[in-house]
């Protein structure tokens, strides 16, 4: 008889345990019930906490006296957890603005995967809500299309933003799959990377080039969005956007190819087995070199294009009407004791028949396509004996106002001795 009683008690306990099902969410709390989100560090936030007992989608919202809902979370999937979930609410609605002063009804609503539902409500009062909104009063971009390839043509988009209130100001570019590129702020000649510092009200200037000026690979071609975001200390946010198209992007790369006859980058006339040559004053020094575009984007070049239009010791690219141009690639020749512009004698990378021509604003721009290789020839009439004699002459491949890569610098130097004829 005692054995039968024990079995009955055990069965009753199992039935009771199966009959109890924990609610989808429990231990819901919102504290304090009055907040003053004015950034003074006292009662600025309401802590919303709840425990999830089964996989559920949870929504949290506040409703004003007219029944309008202001969502904090909407349908967020939450797995069960022994630790409560928490959210710190700062009084800012989903539109980025501080909610008006008043009493709101808060609701935590959960729907489990098996169809159960739980709703908890209470009241929350928002006071001292007269904090000014950090509005972006002005947001302009210089262009909606850039071609960041370091040719100094449409490489940059310049962005202006004016904030009406002190706030954190960030500008960034959003690409496919929400990849984000931060845009530096320009102060004079300095570029400031984004920080959490609060900036005074005023106008700020940003410059985006896809990182190409730093030698980085720019983002791939495609459609992007420029975002300006101002946020104050309590979390109010103003966001403005502008479209941006990136086209013909890439890091330009070119190199001097070894000449087959000599095994050098430059092949000089009059030079024999050793890199030394004696020439008469008034003789002409000729060179031949080969340039290859080894990058994935065209490189821009500019004249002079005529290899037979020789320089003299006292002429340079300027006297021939070809000033230095940012981003342009040219073959250059320099010499020891040159006290003027570096590499005063320069030539286009290719002839007019070998280059692609692009018309822009009434001007012709010349490009060497990726993978193409061209032979460059030029000449210098040695009309004057430099301060040092003998003196060295060398060649280079220059991207003007950008760099002379080490592999393209001081290529095939020769020692020239000038003598009277």
Q: Which letter does DSSP use for residue 194 in this model?
A: P
- What pLDDT score does 129 carry? 67
Q: Which residues contact 378 (CB under 8 A, 6 or more apart)?
A: 286, 287, 307, 310, 311, 331, 333, 345, 347
Strands 157-163 and 202-208: antiparallel
Bridge partners (DSSP) of residue 202 are 163
Is 272 within 8 Å of 242 (Cβ atoms)? no
DSSP 387: S
3-state secondary structure of 34: strand
Q: What is the 3-state secondary structure (H, E, C) of 196-245?
A: CCCECCEEEEEEECCCHHHCCCCCCCEEEEEEEEEECCCCCEEEEEEEEE
Domains in the chain: ranges and CATH: 20-126 (2.60.40.4070), 136-246 (2.60.40.2550), 254-419 (2.60.40)
Residues 6+ apart with CB under 8 A from 242: 139, 141, 144, 225, 226
Residue with tokens 């008469």: 280
- What are the backbone dihedrals phi and psi of residue 325, each rounded to the nearest 5 degrees, phi first? -130, 130
168 contacts: CB under 8 Å, gap ≥ 6 = 196, 197, 198, 199, 230, 231, 232
B/e letters for 356-369, b = 16+ CB within 10 Å, e = fewer, are: eeeeeeeeebbbbe
63/57 Cα distance (integer angstroms): 19
Q: Which helix (H) or strand (E) holds 13?
A: helix 2-19
Separation between Cα atoms, residue 110 and residue 73, nearest integer Å: 11
Tokens of 306: 């005529």
pTM for the model stands at 0.76
**Cβ-contact 397, 412 below 8 angstroms:** no
* Angle in degrees, CA 125, 131, 137, rounded to 5: 135
Separation of alpha carbons 59 and 210, rounded Å: 39
Residues 116, 118, 121, CA angle at the centre, nearest 5°? 165
Per-residue pLDDT of the chain in tens (421 residues, 90 and over written 9): 444 444 433 333 333 444 457 899 999 999 999 999 887 888 899 999 999 999 999 999 999 999 999 999 999 999 999 999 999 999 998 888 999 999 999 999 999 988 999 999 999 999 976 789 999 999 999 999 999 999 989 999 999 999 999 999 999 999 988 889 999 999 988 899 888 899 999 999 999 999 988 888 899 999 999 999 999 988 899 999 999 999 999 999 999 999 888 889 999 998 987 899 999 999 999 999 999 999 999 999 999 999 999 999 999 999 999 999 999 999 999 999 898 889 999 999 999 999 999 998 888 999 999 999 999 999 999 999 999 999 999 999 999 999 999 999 999 999 999 999 8
What are 66's two structure tokens?
Answer: 């007219």
């Amino acid at each position: 008889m005692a054995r039968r009683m024990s079995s009955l008690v055990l069965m009753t306990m199992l039935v009771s345990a199966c009959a109890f099902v924990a609610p989808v969410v429990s231990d819901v709390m919102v504290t304090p019930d009055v907040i003053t989100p004015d950034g003074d560090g006292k009662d600025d936030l309401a802590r919303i906490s709840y425990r999830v007992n089964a996989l559920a989608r949870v929504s949290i919202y506040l409703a004003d006296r007219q029944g309008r809902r202001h969502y904090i979370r909407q349908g967020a999937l939450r797995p069960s957890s022994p630790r409560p979930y928490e959210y710190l609410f700062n009084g800012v609605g989903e539109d980025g603005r501080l909610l008006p002063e008043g009493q709101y009804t808060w609701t935590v609503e959960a729907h489990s995967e098996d169809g159960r539902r739980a709703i908890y409500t209470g009241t929350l009062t928002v006071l001292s809500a007269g904090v000014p909104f950090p509005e972006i009063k002005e947001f302009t971009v210089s262009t909606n299309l850039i071609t960041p390839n370091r040719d100094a043509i449409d490489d940059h988009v310049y962005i202006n933003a004016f904030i009406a209130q002190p706030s954190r100001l960030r500008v960034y570019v959003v690409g496919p799959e929400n990849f984000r590129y931060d845009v530096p702020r320009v102060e004079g000649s300095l570029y400031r990377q984004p920080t959490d510092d609060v900036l005074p009200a005023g106008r700020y200037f940003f410059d985006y080039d896809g990182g190409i000026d730093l030698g980085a690979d720019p983002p791939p071609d495609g459609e992007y969005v420029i975002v300006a975001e101002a946020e104050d200390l309590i979390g109010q946010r103003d966001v403005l956007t502008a479209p941006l198209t990136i086209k013909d992007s890439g890091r330009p790369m070119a190199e001097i190819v070894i000449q087959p006859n000599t095994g050098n980058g430059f092949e000089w006339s009059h030079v024999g087995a050793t890199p030394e040559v004696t020439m008469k004053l008034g003789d002409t020094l000729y060179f031949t070199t080969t340039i290859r575009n080894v990058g994935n984007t065209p490189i821009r070049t500019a004249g002079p294009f005529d290899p037979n239009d020789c320089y003299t010791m006292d002429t340079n690219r300027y006297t021939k009407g070809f000033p230095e141009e940012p981003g342009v690639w040219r073959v250059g020749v320099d010499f020891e004791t040159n006290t003027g512009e570096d590499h005063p004698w320069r030539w286009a990378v290719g002839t007019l028949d070998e280059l692609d021509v692009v018309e822009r604003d009434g001007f012709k721009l010349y490009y060497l396509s990726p993978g193409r290789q061209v032979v460059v020839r030029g000449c210098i009439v040695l009309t004057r004996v430099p301060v040092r004699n003998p003196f060295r002459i060398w060649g280079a491949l220059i991207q003007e106002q950008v760099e002379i890569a080490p592999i393209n610098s001081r290529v095939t130097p020769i020692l020239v001795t000038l003598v009277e004829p």
